[in-house]
């Protein structure tokens, strides 16, 4: 089992913790970090001193570092001879709470996972600001940019005047539509009810005025005079 995520404490031992009692505190049966098959348990049952551990072979616990009354470091090691040991794990006691110190592989794995998680979160957040449109391509759209655009006064867009070609083309299209689909109702004045085109009374055309015979003769003489041309000049006799 992975013991790196758990801790153990017995509050009754905290006031009396010192260099001589810390191993007894660590050897409590309720402590999940303690191996009951170790040589310390054999020495304790036979009521021997801890100096006999150097003459034994197997797993043992020693006090590696002490800084009373707050910090104690205990090492678990495999003794192969009186002069040769192999460290297995380290445990530190801070204010009476026992923790297992992580090994180098666990530290590297934890740091790598933390870095990968941070990079993945950064990529996910960056992708949430990415936008794409076939006509524009890719661009970034940030939230603070929206707030700046909201607070920024909007400049009024100047309407460009239409060209002569556009006006003529629109008029031609409207005329064509009017000829294809003539209006059925006409509103003579604003606010009035539209009236069907069939019910509108057409005004009679004015009759041609009668021309007097005297005016006809005057018109004819004027036309004949214009056709004959100016009179010829005669020479004067002296």
Question: What is the tens place of the pLDDT at every residue in 122-167?
Answer: 999 888 888 888 888 888 887 776 666 666 666 666 777 778 888 8
pLDDT one-digit tens code per residue, 193-227: 777 777 776 555 555 555 455 555 555 555 555 44
4 pLDDT band, cuts 50/70/90, is confident
Tell me the pLDDT tens digit for each residue of 41-77: 999 888 888 888 888 999 999 999 999 889 999 999 9
Write the DSSP string, 165-177.
HHHHHHHHHHHHH
* Spatial distance between the Cα atoms of 7 and 104, rounded to a whole number of angstroms: 19
pLDDT of residue 50: 84
Burial of residue 47 (CB within 10 Å: 0-12, 13-18, 19+) is exposed
pLDDT > 70: percent of the chain: 77
Q: Which helix (H) or strand (E) holds 121?
A: helix 104-128
Q: Model-level pTM?
A: 0.50
Q: What is the mean pLDDT of the chain?
A: 81
Q: Does residue 74 sit in helix, strand or coil?
A: strand
């Amino acid at each position: 089992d992975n013991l790196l995520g758990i801790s153990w404490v017995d509050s009754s031992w905290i006031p009396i913790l010192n260099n001589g009692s810390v191993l007894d505190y660590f050897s409590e049966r309720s402590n999940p970090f303690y191996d009951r098959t170790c040589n310390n348990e054999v020495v304790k049952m036979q009521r021997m001193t801890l100096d006999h551990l150097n003459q034994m072979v197997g797993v043992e616990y020693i006090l590696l570092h002490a800084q009373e009354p707050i910090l104690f470091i205990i090492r678990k090691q495999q003794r192969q001879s009186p002069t040769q040991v192999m460290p297995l794990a380290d445990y530190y006691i801070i204010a009476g709470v026992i923790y297992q110190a992580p090994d180098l592989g666990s530290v590297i794995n934890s740091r790598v996972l933390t870095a990968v998680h941070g990079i993945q979160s950064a990529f996910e957040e960056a992708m949430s600001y990415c936008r794409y449109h076939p006509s524009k391509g890719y661009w970034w759209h940030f939230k603070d940019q929206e707030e700046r655009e909201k607070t920024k006064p909007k400049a009024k867009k100047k309407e460009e005047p239409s060209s002569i070609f556009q006006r003529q083309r629109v008029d031609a299209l409207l005329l064509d539509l009017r000829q294809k689909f003539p209006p059925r109702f006409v509103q003579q004045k604003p606010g009035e009810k539209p009236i069907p085109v069939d019910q509108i009374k057409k005004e009679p055309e004015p009759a041609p005025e009668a021309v007097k015979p005297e005016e006809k003769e005057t018109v004819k003489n004027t036309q004949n005079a214009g056709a004959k041309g100016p009179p010829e000049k005669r020479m004067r006799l002296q």
